[in-house]
Amino acid sequence: MDGAEVGEGFPDFALSRGPRLVRLARGLLRDPFQAEDVVQDVLAKVFLQWERIGRTNDPDAYVRRMVVNACTSWFRRAARREFAQDVATLPERSLADPTAGVDERDRLVLLLKRLPAKQRAVLVLRHYEGLPDAEIAQLLGSGEVAVRTNAHRGLATLRRWLAESDREGAAP
């Protein structure tokens, strides 16, 4: 095999899927720059194995699983050296501000990053990536019931934190 055949089809795959993979990693990790690094590392590994990965039934799902695993591994290592963000640093809510939607999204992302890794992964894959529970279960190596349980608990926790944050913001 000559050098021109190595990684054939990979550049198109990386260009078309790269932004979605970065968005997935950003949803799973606390640091958006680290998310880009994780995706870059995964794509470097995929390039080296593209001949094999490109022949799989669904290379997209395979690479997405690699990103989820890499984020989980990074988060486990990082959990020993990072601290949760203080609720007091969340942005204040302003109804008159036209950028309130952006502020609200940022507020939700900050709260989402405080969730346990499994709950966060399920919510990101379900609501940001739009994946069905069966595919999420396959990606995370768990059952569909566990996916629904993690989604339920994660959403309940987010709702509670949002309510607490709203009460604290309304207090004089």
CB 27 within 8 A of CB 120: yes
pLDDT tens digits along 5-39? 555 789 999 999 999 999 999 888 877 888 899 99
CA dihedral 156, 164, 124, 31 (to 10 degrees): -150
- pLDDT value, residue 47: 94
Q: Where in the chain is the domain with CATH 1.10.1740?
A: 1-82
pLDDT tens digits along 112-138? 889 999 999 999 899 888 889 999 999
Distance CA 25, CA 39 (A): 7
87-172 CATH, one of 3.30.1340.30, 2.40.50.140, 3.60.15.10, 1.10.10.10: 1.10.10.10
With bands split at pLDDT 50, 70 and 90, how would you rate the model's confidence at 172?
A: very low
CATH 1.10.260 fits 1-82, yes or no: no
- The dihedral through the CA atoms of 53, 55, 59, 61 has a sign that is negative
pTM: 0.54
Crossing angle of the two packed helices 10-28 and 32-48, in degrees rounded to 10: 150
pLDDT tens digits along 36-87? 999 999 999 999 999 999 898 999 999 999 999 998 887 666 554 555 556 5
Q: How far apart are the first and last CA of the chain?
A: 72
**Stronger pLDDT, 142 or 1, i.e. the higher one:** 142
| Three-state DSSP state, 52 | helix
Distance CA 140, CA 122 (A): 8
**Stronger pLDDT, 102 or 133, i.e. the higher one:** 133
Provide the token pair at 141: 């190596």
